[in-house]
Amino acid sequence: MSLTVAASTDGLSAETVYELLLRVREKTPRVHAITNGVAQNFTANVLLALGAVPSMTIAEEEVAGFAGSADALLVNLGTLDETRRAAIPLAIEAARTAGRPVSIDPVFVNRSPVRCAYATELLSCGPDLVRLNAPEMEALFPGRTGVEEMIAAGTVFAVTGEEDKIESSNRDFRLLNGHPLMARVTATGCAGGAVLAAFASVETDRALAAACGLSVFNIAGEVAAARSCGPGTFVPELLDALYAMSLVDIEARLKAA
């Protein structure tokens, strides 16, 4: 599948990115995140700085209520223990029944055949968005087998890396924002997945939502890196950059290939 280049003045303008950010801030969507233990606190703070509201429960007896009443569901497989295994299908079913967008982040499926098999089962639900990197994509879809079918059925893929690629049945984007310091702080990618879920809750064009969410998060990373001295000061600067993100920031930094 060939990628359409998104021009910064056409398919992904700074004004469009900022408009979706304002929607998130105005709606304050609730994102239920079933994420890994390392990422929970940081993910919650990122969502709050963005303007969204996090919930994190993985208790089997109440996860359906939380997921069904949220505006979006994120399923992150970073720590795939028995409790999360039991909660995830219940949460997905509840979110689907409520008509909420479901995002799946199949973390490290390339490191564990068991996790890869479980993620493959989850993907059969036809999630709205799958966020992953190139090795994870190859593990789940060797030679891209099955990717086009999922895209045709409506799933959007956000493949992150030095260049982020958004693939969908409607339109595709290639994005170039971000900073190496983002990889020096644990759970940054996981928290970024929650940002995409928040954007998906306010925009039915999931590819556009993913492109705008990634742009906001990665631009915040660039702003934070410019103000910090290293990983230790990067985290609070990232939260501040998300909280204070303006149209001027996006106009100055938005990069599309």
pLDDT at 183 over 50: yes
Gap between the Cα atoms of 240 and 48, Å rounded: 11
Q: What is the pLDDT of residue 145?
A: 96
pLDDT band of 112, cuts 50, 70, 90? very high
Mean residue pLDDT across the chain: 94
Query: In sequence order, what DSSP letters do the residues of 138-160 get, joined into one string?
Result: HHHSGGGTTHHHHHHTT-EEEEE
Contact 177, 254 (CB under 8 A): yes
The tens digit of pLDDT for each residue in 46-56 reads: 999 999 999 99
Token pair listed for 158: 């956000």
pLDDT above 70: residue 10: no
Strand order in the sheet with 129-133: 53-55, 30-34, 72-76, 102-105, 129-133, 156-160, 164-167, 173-175
Q: Residue 1: pLDDT above 50?
A: no
Residue 129 sits at the vertex; the CA angle it makes with 125 and 132, to the nearest 5 degrees, is 105
Give percent of the chain above pLDDT 70.
Answer: 95
Task: Give percent above pLDDT 90 in the chain.
Answer: 95
Q: Is the pLDDT at 174 greater than 80, yes or no?
A: yes
Answer whether residue 185 shows pLDDT above 80.
Answer: yes
> Does the pLDDT of residue 31 top 90, yes or no?
yes
What lies within 8 Å, CB to CB, of 97 at 6+ separation is: 68
Given a cut of 80, whether residue 236 has pLDDT beyond it is: yes
pLDDT at res. 8: 36
In 59-155, DSSP assigns E strands to: 72-76, 102-105, 129-133
Residue 207 has pLDDT above 70, yes or no: yes
Confidence of residue 36 (pLDDT cuts 50, 70, 90): very high
**pLDDT for position 256:** 75
Q: What is the pLDDT of residue 9?
A: 34
Hey, what domains does the chain have and what are their CATH numbers? Answer: 14-253 (3.40.1190.20)
3-state secondary structure at position 203: coil
Give the predicted TM-score (pTM) of the model: 0.94
Specify the DSSP class assigned to residue 45: H
In this prediction, residue 5 carries a pLDDT of 37
Asked if 211 contacts 255 with a C-beta cutoff of 8 angstroms, the reply is no
Tokens of 25: 């801030």
